[in-house]
Amino acid sequence: MIDPAERVIYQLKVVLLGISPMIWRRVKVSSDSTIEDLHYTIQLAMGWKDIHLHHFIIHGKYYGITQPGVCFYPLDDQIVNHTLTKT
């Protein structure tokens, strides 16, 4: 867990690719958020009901669901959190 004094707020732009007009949302997430937290934040921001296929690309590594029945979320969310905050 990150000390509240060290917490950073990231502003992200979420864009749906391959659609016109462009659909996007700007969301803010805390540096102590997990990939699961990010998943639910995007679900809420886009008005989705957890039925859309999507994935995250973090430093070239894929996380998420890109095809039915296939999930690429790591078991340890802290690994992803470390990857997001690494400079």
**Domain total in the chain:** 1
State the residue range of the domain holding 56. Answer: 4-85
Q: What is the pTM of this model?
A: 0.62
Residues 25, 45: contact at Cβ < 8 Å?
yes
Q: For residue 73, is pLDDT > 70?
A: no
Residue type present at position 9: I
Task: Please say if the pLDDT value at position 9 is more than 90.
Answer: yes
Helices (H), ranges, the chain: 35-46, 77-85
pLDDT tier at 65, thresholds 50, 70, 90: low
pLDDT at 74: 53
How much is the pLDDT for 16?
87
The 10s digit of each residue's pLDDT in 17-64 is: 889 999 999 999 999 988 888 888 988 999 988 777 777 777 888 777
Across the chain, how many H-helices and E-strands are there? 2, 4
CA distance 52 to 1: 30
Whole-number Å distance between alpha carbons of 87 and 20: 33
| Stronger pLDDT, 13 or 84, i.e. the higher one | 13
Per-residue pLDDT, 58: 78
